[in-house]
């Protein structure tokens, strides 16, 4: 491993007075502590009742609840790490923090809501802060998920400039819509969390193979957008059944997208400048999934992250270059 762990600690929200954090990274921990004062739930634990008739809850206990923070130093080639060429996917797991194991109590199971890890790059400044949030649905037993290493994958980033995107108008990309402004009343601007919609356009395979396949697909997607996503009376209809509906999709061909160019993470600045590279580690565990974000260096462009076995990545790279 190229990363050396310097410290792992637990950082609570301040009890009202100044918090004495005389450690290796006092300013980082003080900033985190003061921030947690405004977001106490993320410093708490997810309580998952063994009795499924009860709902999970987030529990914060003043003076006891805290966020686990790991501080590490990277000792390998930073420039190689931020390149867009194919990279060994396993090396990125050094930057992902681990949630503490599930604790079994008499009536429930308990697991932290969030953990943080900060990796320092000597002479280059830190790349950023990585977070893991846990979300558990009622029907699924609470368990820690992980990616077995080695993943036998490589990951690469492909830049789609605005001129390239214009060439790809004969392709469509669908993902979950942001509903914050689409529901009535709209979600407040300072809402802290996700608010995503749901919609599935279902077609038989033979319909898409015909001469009118593209038109049929476009009409099906447009119908979902018009009558579901942009309809305030329908947008949350049957929300309690969304999870079960999505399970039905898992058995057919599906494609997942992590991120969005609308959320400009590349411009985020924690005090050390903009991030040099964004990597979504979770796409390693998906059979058909990509990451998508606004391009850092190309105005109007996109960065598409892909994780594939090496042979397939090489084939994709050749097709990608030829296609553009």
Percentage, residues of the chain above pLDDT 70 = 73
Range with the poorest average pLDDT among 32-36, 97-101, 141-145: 141-145
Radius of gyration of the chain (CA): 22
HSE-CB at 245 with a 13 A cutoff on CA atoms is 12
Contact predicate 125/272, CB 8 Å? yes
Tens of pLDDT, residues 162-201? 776 665 543 334 457 777 777 778 888 777 677 777 777 7
- Give the separation between CA 147 and CA 290, rounded to whole angstroms: 17
Distance of CA 314 to the CA centre of its chain: 25
300 Rama sector, left if φ>0, alpha if ψ -120 to 50, beta otherwise: left
Q: What is the DSSP letter of 141?
A: P
pLDDT given at position 45: 92
| Residue, of 23 and 234, whose pLDDT is higher | 234
User: Which whole number is the average pLDDT over 63-78?
Assistant: 84
pLDDT given at position 207: 77
Beta-sheet strand order (sheet of 289-294): 87-88, 154-160, 302-308, 289-294, 256-258
- Give the separation between CA 281 and CA 92, rounded to whole angstroms: 7
Tens of pLDDT, residues 5-21? 666 677 666 553 233 33
- Give the separation between CA 40 and CA 169, rounded to whole angstroms: 45
Omega prior to 150 cis, within 30 of 0: yes
Length of the chain: 324
How many C-beta atoms lie closer than 10 Å to residue 181's C-beta?
A: 9
Return the domain boundaries, the chain: 1-146
Task: For the chain, give the mean pLDDT.
Answer: 74
Distance of CA 139 to the CA centre of its chain: 22
Q: The pTM is what?
A: 0.49
Q: Would you say residue 144 has pLDDT above 70?
A: no
Predicted confidence band of residue 259 (pLDDT cuts 50, 70, 90): confident
User: Which whole number is the average pLDDT over 114-139?
Assistant: 54
Pick the CATH number of 1-146 from 3.90.1150.10, 3.30.559.10, 3.40.50.300, 3.90.1300.10: 3.30.559.10
Percentage, residues of the chain above pLDDT 90 = 4
User: Which whole number is the average pLDDT over 281-288?
Assistant: 74
**The pair of three-digit structure tokens given for residue 322, joined into one six-digit string:** 């030829």
CB neighbour class for 222 (10 Å; exposed up to 12, middle 13-18, buried from 19): exposed
Q: Would you say residue 32 has pLDDT above 80?
A: yes
SS percent in the chain: helix, strand, coil, step 5: 25, 25, 50
CA angle 231/233/238 to nearest 5° reads: 105
pLDDT given at position 175: 57
Q: Would you say residue 131 has pLDDT above 70?
A: no
Predicted confidence band of residue 99 (pLDDT cuts 50, 70, 90): confident
Q: What is the DSSP letter of 261?
A: T
């Amino acid at each position: 491993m190229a990363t050396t762990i310097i410290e792992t600690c637990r950082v609570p929200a301040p009890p009202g007075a100044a918090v004495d954090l005389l450690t290796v990274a006092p300013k980082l921990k003080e900033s985190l502590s003061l921030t947690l004062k405004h977001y106490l739930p993320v410093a708490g634990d997810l309580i998952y009742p063994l009795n499924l008739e009860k709902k999970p809850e987030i529990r914060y206990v003043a003076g006891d609840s805290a966020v686990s923070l790991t501080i590490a130093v990277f000792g390998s080639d930073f420039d190689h790490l931020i390149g867009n060429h194919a990279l060994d996917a396993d090396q990125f797991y050094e930057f992902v923090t681990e949630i503490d194991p599930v604790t079994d109590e008499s009536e429930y199971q308990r697991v932290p809501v969030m953990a943080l890890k900060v990796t320092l790059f000597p002479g280059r400044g830190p790349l950023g802060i990585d977070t893991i949030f846990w979300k558990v649905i009622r029907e699924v037993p609470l368990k820690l998920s992980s990616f077995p290493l080695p993943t036998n994958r490589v990951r690469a980033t492909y830049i789609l400039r605005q001129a390239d995107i214009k060439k790809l108008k004969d392709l469509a990309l669908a993902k979950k819509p942001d509903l914050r402004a689409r529901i009535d009343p709209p979600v407040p601007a300072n809402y802290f969390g996700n608010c995503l919609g749901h919609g599935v356009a279902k077609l038989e395979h033979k319909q898409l193979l015909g001469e009118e396949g593209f038109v049929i697909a476009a009409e099906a997607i447009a119908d979902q957008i018009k009558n579901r996503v942009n309809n305030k009376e329908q947008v949350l209809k049957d929300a309690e059944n969304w999870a079960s509906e999505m399970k039905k999709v898992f058995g057919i061909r599906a494609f997942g997208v992590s991120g969005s160019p609308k959320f400009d993470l590349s411009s985020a600045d924690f005090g050390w400048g903009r991030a040099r590279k964004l990597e979504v580690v979770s796409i390693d565990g998906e059979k058909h999934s990509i990451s998508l974000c606004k391009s850092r260096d190309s105005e109007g462009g996109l960065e598409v992250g892909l994780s594939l076995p090496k042979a397939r990545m090489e084939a994709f790279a050749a097709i990608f270059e030829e296609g553009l």
